[in-house]
Amino acid sequence: MSKCAIVTGGAGGIGLGIAKALAKEGCNIVIADIRADEDVHKVISGLESLGGKAHYIKSNVACPKDREKLIKEAVERFGRIDILVNNAGVAPKVRMDLLETTEESFDFVMDINLKGTFFLSQLAARQMISQENIELPRIINISSVSADTSSINRGEYCISKAAASMVTMLFADRLAEEGIRVFEIRPGVIKTDMTAVVTEKYDKMIAEGLTPIKRWGYPEDIGGIVASLCRKEFDFCTGNVINVDGGFHIRRL
């Protein structure tokens, strides 16, 4: 039986890069996103052309009912859940100095980036544990270099990603005995629609040495790592943080 992989925020950007990589591995893909159905039709067709089947579920991971619907419908559609990729995430709607950040902005970011990741992982783990003969189950959290890099004009985002790192560690610890491996990927500067507005800024920073590897990252860079982590070669690992950032994390003099 083909594996079933849920990718939140999978209709574009990093999430779509991940979904494509898993589809090429033969997985059935469930895309969870908040986009309108008509916007995702081509995405689903494209994924199915790579192998396996694909299904779209409109859902907001910040909403408890949507999280429950996502798990239930994925199981109804494909009979199982083998992989959960918590990729859905948001930045503050407006960047503000740390001393001006509002509770509304803080809650908006935390509800999706942290609360959604925690409680969807909980639901998916319960489902995985209940399944018979599950092979190489995985939960993979897409974090950010902001998990340990300060940006004082979007502090709520940095805090959400740092907290998501602890979510990875906690679930890795708890689920090891259940055979479920949990990983965290920290992307760096990745070329997506979200970063399109700062292309010129990052072009300049990369050229000036922001990262040892002097290029943008791409969604397929993340997708390839996710696909690798879902293979048996990584079954003696859990709780690992994988930086996919062109070497940004290296402290240099």
Separation of alpha carbons 244 and 212, rounded Å: 12
Q: In the numeric block, which tokens belong to residue 121?
A: 């992982």
What 3-state class would DSSP assign to 103?
helix
Each residue's pLDDT, cut to its tens digit, for the chain (253 residues) gives: 799 999 999 999 999 999 999 999 999 999 999 987 777 999 999 999 998 899 999 999 999 999 999 999 999 999 999 999 999 999 999 999 999 999 999 999 999 999 999 999 999 999 999 998 888 999 999 999 999 999 999 999 999 999 999 999 999 999 999 999 999 999 999 999 888 888 999 999 999 999 999 999 999 999 999 999 999 999 999 999 999 999 999 999 8
Question: What CA–CA distances, in Å, run from 83 to 134, 212, 231?
Answer: 10, 32, 11
Active site residue ranges? 157
Those residues whose C-beta lies under 8 Å from the C-beta of residue 198, and which sit 6 or more positions away, are: none
Q: In the numeric block, which tokens belong to residue 107?
A: 């809650």
- What was the pLDDT predicted at 227? 98
Nearest to 225 by CA among 187, 173, 168: 187
Q: Taking the CB of residue 20, how many other CB atoms lie within 10 A of it?
A: 23
- What was the pLDDT predicted at 1? 74
Those residues whose C-beta lies under 8 Å from the C-beta of residue 45, and which sit 6 or more positions away, are: none
